[in-house]
């Protein structure tokens, strides 16, 4: 029999052992191809020049992040190879015992790696090519682009990147495999399956105490993550430390606690092989605590990234839309601390021969004025210890009515507030400050706040309006206040080239002694498209990779445990346990071990997402629902697939024992 035939037979014979390896490679190849083929998806869309730039940016960023992803996948595949080599040491020992030299054995390893690599690449690329078509539709939705004619798109560039990347990974894995095989003695190979890791489990009473302590640590961490900003500035750092410590302690003590709790119910404890399953889980706690903690924390990152990343990126685009109530706005403001006397931008444009009517059917100016009013507070001084600007009532109403909003009415001696904070804590403080009856003294006149008159209106087209507040005062009081910023906003007419005419006329327009900035709705929405698309893809890409990594690490660890416990399962058969009972015990043990880190990671994620929703105003829990459903489906597919493959692989091991 030739070496090629031996290698092919080995791969077929060890299909159950290779299942997790195949699954990891196929998922990795698929995800890698899909996200490196994004740039080619523009072929099926009608896109603008700006959107074409966005596609190039997305492609460049995905290529860059793929270096990091390749490193993770490479380490993961090497980790999986360690298990495979450990399982096959006895087989290699028999080869040597029968007279095969190590060079031929190494050649067989090379051929096996080649077969596995080719199969995984082909399967992963096929799956990736199919999924990339769905990704093209998602891309069109994110970029608000129209799909012209749907055609099957295949990216040669992504194909080459994927082949090169995974060829290098297979090469590294092969080097490790050959080094592992060549460094083993014949005796060590023949008796490899009789070597077990030592372990030491805590007493049950100690486990119960440690479990309660872990719940206390996690409870404090969740509380700090959700309500921490009202307690300390370092709440999130403290929550992270307590969360990691609590997670490690939780898994170190969980099996002992479960053993003690279930022992209280003799009916459950003595039912079927429950006693055996619990003892098996408890016996491995010392050697799996670190890896289970790592899997749980990786899952936490993956769940948060997948469920909230898409929602948050979508809110970025929606935020850009809100920041663009008018077709364009041009602003002038002083450089640094220089004095600024103010400019009537419409009159200045006319004086410079600019015909605003050529592109705009309406144009109006706003002037933000300095008041000297501040709202200091110790905890949030970095946000609030700043001067509040003012705008006149007539200008505020002009900007509001142009957007179709109700005008504001003020009684003499009253003021209103317009705020655009993105931080919910800042909004809460502002409201409490106003509800407490605080007044504002402007030019020596004390004004009282009009009850309920807090607005969230964008008064110009600008992405820099967030994190600010201003007061609205009477025209009479505003007219003598010093200028801080002048803005002219435009509503385009029906001219086809209105956007270009506006940009040509006002880009760079204004005195050299001041800063000049033109922002358009089209430009803001394009930037929103770019940001939301990049954030969405980064969230999905990294989330999937972390999910695959955590599931693979857990699955390989459980397969190793099954390999170590073959003698124990053999004893069950010898004392009369039916094969179905033995298999059910195996499935129960694996399912519980998969659910332990996943369940705690879900609890971590809920606390983290609630805390984030309180911290950032445009990070709404309702908007995360769609992302959560997507995450649930992905977890069910990936985690469920690994759990099933682990059960089948472990069952095959028992059948061979």
435-445 pLDDT per residue, tens: 777 778 888 88
CB 391 within 8 A of CB 367: yes
Mean pLDDT of 444-462: 88
- Show the tokens assigned to 579: 């094969």
Helix (H, G, I), strand (E, B) or coil at 628: helix
Neighbours of 641 (CB within 10 A): 18
CB 490 within 8 A of CB 326: yes
Is the pLDDT at 561 greater than 70? The verdict is: yes
Residue 198 — φ and ψ, nearest 5°?
A: -80, 155
**CA–CA separation, 455 and 319 (whole Å):** 16
| Partners of residue 373 on adjacent β-strands | 388
Q: Can you give the pLDDT at residue 502?
A: 92
Domain finish residue from 160, 195, 230: 195
Q: Can you give the pLDDT at residue 49?
A: 65
Q: Can you give the pLDDT at residue 399?
A: 93
- Say which residue the tokens 């002992």 belong to: 256
Residue 37 — φ and ψ, nearest 5°?
A: -100, 5
Residue 169 forms part of a structural domain: yes
Residue 443 — φ and ψ, nearest 5°?
A: 50, 40
What does the DSSP assignment read for 1-55? Answer: --HHHHHHHHHHHTHHHHHHHHHHHHHHHHHHHHHHSGGGGGGGEE--HHHHHHH
Q: Name the residue range of residue 159's domain.
A: 1-195
Q: In the structure, what pLDDT confidence band is assigned to residue 511 with cuts at 50, 70 and 90? A: confident
Helix (H, G, I), strand (E, B) or coil at 392: strand
Quote the number of domains for the chain: 2
Q: Can you give the pLDDT at residue 18?
A: 67
Helices (H), 88-155: 89-97, 102-142
User: In residues, how long is the chain?
Assistant: 657
Mean pLDDT of 613-627: 57
Residues 6+ apart with CB under 8 A from 471: 371, 373, 388, 389, 390, 391, 415, 416, 417, 418, 440, 442, 447
Q: In the structure, what pLDDT confidence band is assigned to residue 87 with cuts at 50, 70 and 90? A: low
Residue 88 forms part of a structural domain: yes
Q: In the structure, what pLDDT confidence band is assigned to residue 201 with cuts at 50, 70 and 90? A: low
CB 365 within 8 A of CB 425: no
Q: In the structure, what pLDDT confidence band is assigned to residue 283 with cuts at 50, 70 and 90? A: low
Q: In the structure, what pLDDT confidence band is assigned to residue 197 with cuts at 50, 70 and 90? A: very low
- For residue 365, the number of C-alpha atoms closer than 13 Å in the C-beta half-sphere is 16
Share of the chain above pLDDT 90, in %: 13
Residue 170 forms part of a structural domain: yes
Neighbours of 326 (CB within 10 A): 26
**CA–CA separation, 561 and 383 (whole Å):** 54
H/E/C letters for each residue in 175-226? HHHHHHHHCCCHHHHHCHHHCCCCCCCCCHHHHHHHHHHHHHHHHHHHHHHH
Q: Can you give the pLDDT at residue 312?
A: 66
Is the pLDDT at 476 greater than 80? The verdict is: yes
**CA–CA separation, 348 and 358 (whole Å):** 16
CB 331 within 8 A of CB 314: no
Residue 304 forms part of a structural domain: no
pLDDT tens digit sequence for 92-130: 666 666 667 667 766 777 777 778 778 888 988 898 888
> Measured between alpha carbons, how far apart are the two ends of the chain, in Å?
26
Closest of 33, 235, 208 to residue 122, by C-alpha: 33
Is the pLDDT at 393 greater than 90? The verdict is: yes
Domain finish residue from 458, 488, 512: 512
Residue that wins the pLDDT comparison between 150 and 257: 257
pLDDT tens digit sequence for 237-266: 888 899 999 998 888 887 667 767 777 777
- Say which residue the tokens 């358009």 belong to: 520
- Show the tokens assigned to 149: 């004619």
Residue 77 forms part of a structural domain: yes
| DSSP 8-state secondary structure symbol assigned to residue 146 | E
Pick from 6-15, 287-296, 329-338, 354-363: least confident = 6-15
Residues 6+ apart with CB under 8 A from 633: none
**CA–CA separation, 310 and 329 (whole Å):** 30
Helix (H, G, I), strand (E, B) or coil at 490: strand
Q: Can you give the pLDDT at residue 383?
A: 47
Residue 572 forms part of a structural domain: no
Distance from the Cα of residue 562 to its chain's centroid: 33
**CA–CA separation, 49 and 51 (whole Å):** 5
**CA–CA separation, 312 and 318 (whole Å):** 10
Question: Could you tell me if residue 509 is left (phi over 0), alpha (psi between -120 and 50 degrees) or otherwise beta?
Answer: beta
Q: Can you give the pLDDT at residue 381?
A: 45
Residue that wins the pLDDT comparison between 247 and 43: 247
- For residue 309, the number of C-alpha atoms closer than 13 Å in the C-beta half-sphere is 20
**CA–CA separation, 633 and 606 (whole Å):** 17
pLDDT tens digit sequence for 55-81: 677 777 777 787 777 787 777 777 766
Domain finish residue from 496, 512, 528: 512
Neighbours of 605 (CB within 10 A): 22
Closest of 367, 385, 368 to residue 376, by C-alpha: 385
Residue 437 forms part of a structural domain: yes
Mean pLDDT of 492-496: 90
Positive or negative: CA dihedral 198, 204, 205, 209: positive
Residue 327 forms part of a structural domain: no
- For residue 248, the number of C-alpha atoms closer than 13 Å in the C-beta half-sphere is 10
CB 154 within 8 A of CB 44: no
Mean pLDDT of the chain: 78
């Amino acid at each position: 029999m030739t070496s090629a035939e031996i290698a092919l037979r080995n791969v077929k014979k060890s299909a159950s052992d290779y299942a997790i390896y195949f699954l990891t490679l196929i998922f990795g190849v698929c995800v890698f191809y899909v996200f490196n083929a994004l740039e080619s998806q523009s072929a099926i869309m009608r896109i603008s020049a700006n959107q074409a730039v966005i596609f190039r940016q997305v492609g460049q960023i995905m290529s860059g992040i793929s270096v990091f992803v390749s490193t993770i996948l490479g380490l993961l595949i090497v980790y999986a190879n360690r298990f495979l080599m450990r399982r096959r040491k006895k087989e290699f020992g028999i080869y040597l015992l029968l007279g095969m030299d190590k060079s031929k054995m190494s050649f067989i390893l090379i051929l096996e790696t080649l077969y596995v690599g080719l199969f995984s690449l082909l399967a992963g690329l096929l799956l990736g090519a199919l999924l990339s078509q769905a990704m093209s539709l998602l891309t069109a939705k994110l970029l608000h682009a129209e799909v012209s004619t749907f055609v099957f798109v295949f990216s040669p560039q992504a194909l080459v990147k994927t082949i090169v990347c995974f060829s290098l990974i297979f090469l590294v894995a092969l080097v490790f495999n050959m080094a592992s095989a060549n460094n083993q003695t014949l005796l060590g190979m023949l008796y490899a399956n009789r070597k077990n890791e030592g372990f030491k489990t805590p007493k049950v009473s100690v486990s119960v105490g440690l479990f309660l302590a872990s719940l206390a640590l996690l409870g404090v961490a969740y509380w700090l993550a959700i309500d921490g900003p009202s307690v300390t500035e370092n709440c999130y750092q403290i929550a992270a430390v307590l969360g990691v410590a609590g997670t490690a302690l939780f898994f170190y003590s969980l099996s002992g606690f479960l053993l003690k709790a279930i022992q209280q119910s003799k009916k459950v404890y003595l039912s079927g092989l429950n006693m055996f399953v619990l003892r098996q889980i408890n016996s491995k706690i010392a050697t799996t605590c670190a890896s289970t903690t790592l899997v749980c924390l990786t899952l936490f990152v993956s769940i948060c990234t997948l469920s909230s990343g898409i929602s948050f990126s979508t809110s970025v685009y929606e935020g850009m839309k809100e920041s663009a109530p008018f077709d364009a706005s041009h602003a002038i403001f002083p450089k640094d601390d220089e004095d600024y006397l103010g400019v009537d931008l419409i009159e200045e444009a006319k004086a410079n021969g600019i015909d605003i009517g050529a592109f705009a059917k309406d144009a109006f100016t706003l002037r933000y004025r300095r008041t000297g009013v501040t709202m200091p507070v110790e905890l949030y001084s970095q946000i609030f210890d700043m001067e509040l600007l003012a705008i006149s009532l007539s200008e505020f109403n002009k900007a509001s009515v142009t957007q179709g909003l109700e005008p504001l009415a003020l009684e003499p001696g009253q003021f209103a507030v317009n705020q655009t904070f993105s931080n919910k804590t800042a909004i809460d403080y502002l409201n409490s400050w106003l509800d407490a009856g605080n007044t504002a003294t402007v030019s020596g006149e004390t004004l009282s706040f009009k009850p309920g008159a807090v607005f969230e209106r964008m008064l110009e087209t600008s992405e820099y309006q967030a994190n600010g507040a201003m007061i609205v005062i009477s025209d009479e009081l505003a007219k003598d206040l010093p200028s801080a910023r002048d803005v002219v906003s435009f509503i385009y007419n029906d001219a086809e080239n209105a956007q270009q005419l506006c940009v040509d006329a006002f880009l760079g327009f204004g005195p050299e002694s001041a800063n000049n900035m033109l922002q358009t709705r089209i430009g803001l929405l394009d930037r929103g498209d770019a940001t939301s698309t990049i954030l969405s893809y980064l969230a999905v890409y990294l989330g999937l990779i972390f999910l695959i990594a955590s599931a693979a690490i857990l699955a390989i660890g459980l397969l190793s445990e099954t390999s170590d416990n073959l003698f124990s399962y053999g004893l069950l058969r010898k004392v009369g346990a039916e094969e179905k009972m033995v298999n059910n015990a195996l499935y129960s043990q694996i399912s519980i071990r998969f659910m332990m880190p996943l369940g705690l990671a879900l609890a971590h994620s809920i606390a983290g997402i609630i805390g984030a929703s309180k911290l950032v105003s445009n990070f709404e829990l309702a908007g995360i629902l769609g992302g959560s459903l997507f995450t649930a489906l992905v977890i069910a597919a990936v985690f469920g697939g690994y759990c099933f493959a682990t059960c089948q692989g472990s069952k095959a091991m028992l059948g061979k024992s």
